[in-house]
Structure 1
Amino acid sequence: MTKKEKAAFIVDKLEQLYPETPVPLDHKDPYTLLIAVLLSAQCTDERVNQVTPYLWELADNPFDMAKQTQEDIKAIIRPCGLSPRKSAAILELSKILVKKYNGEVPQSFDALEELPGVGHKTASVVMAQAFNVPAFPVDTHIHRLLYRWTISTGKSVEKTEADAKKIFPKELWNKLHLQIIFYGREYCKARGHNPNDCPICSAIGRKNMK
């Protein structure tokens, strides 16, 4: 099977399993999505969704968040881990949004990546899920699966993103990256993974793979 045929197989299988792709992080607008994605670094979506309601009670927009203290933010988001760094980023990026963008989240990869605590993956998620701009955010899970499925070499997340964008149709990127995340959680976990029990790995996965 060629790489293009494998990509088509993956798309068809994921569409069968996950025709609907709700955004895993609870949010109500681009700003709350941005903050939720920032919090999700090295933290589960489930934990973030447990924490953010309390954060939104404190402030759910950049104008109100910019008026808070870092200590108050940190106390709420501590369960998400890395709270000193994340709270500093949330406070500072909120001030920048107020001062530079009139409280709006910029609809640009470059502008987003200039914000404190916002890397390329976070910017990609916001562009895809908040603004419907084609992007292919690659986290460690997508990185793992596309290596297992021989779509990418697995040398880096940057290489995996480039490989994914090259092989999958652009109009599918935003939905497909969520479908891969959902699939990884259900069938293709990092630990205890049996390729023979995995619908995709059993068909096109790397040989002698765990």
Structure 2
Amino acid sequence: MYNIEKSIDSLEKPSVPEHYKTLADRLEKVIGKVAREMMSRPVPEWARWNDITELFERVSNHFIKNIQVLSGATNQLSEQVLNKENVDNNIIWNSVQSISDPLYNLVSLYHFIWSRPFPSGMEQGQPLLAAMVERVIKDYMDMLDDVILMTKDPEKAVKKHGSLTVRMHMDFRIDDEARRFNDWLNSCVVEIQFKKRKSIRNILLTAFAGFLMHDWFWDDK
């Protein structure tokens, strides 16, 4: 989606601006909360989904909305915090809050997918759908971990990445997860009619297209 970077290379011992430490402390709290919530996903209960297309539409709409907000907030974090030499704490706190809100909403979406059982005979699709959302969340968390590593241990960050560089770009890839979901969808020739399978593909492709390197496996069968 975008690629913003700030290099702070030096022949001397690598270091980062002082305000990065405040940022790292805040990000660690966000990562900790997300990790705890991801581990406590609900066990499917209540009534099964009758119209699975409705589920995919709700997942798609919620995902698109929060990814757009998260993308803008990440851009803002890069511009207002990472690309500055000195930043007021209030700006840091507001920037972290701006990314944490949509990130927590994505975790809520992950929980929503697990909240009710899939229709009978289609249960295998539930973890496959959840895995696509989970991959985006985990990749974003890894990106935040890199920011923390650069702050807490600059020398280790240089060894890992080759330079002391902050990269905030949300071009995560979920091709493997999407391929597994599509294979499952193609196997549901009895449970889901052709037109509905095509509708589901279109719904999810709209949501996840930005995270797919290839779309050849979204074939109608």
Question: TM-score over 0.5 for the alignment?
Answer: no
The normalised TM-score by structure 1 is 0.30
Q: Which structure is higher in RCO with an 8 Å CA cutoff and minimum separation 6?
A: 2
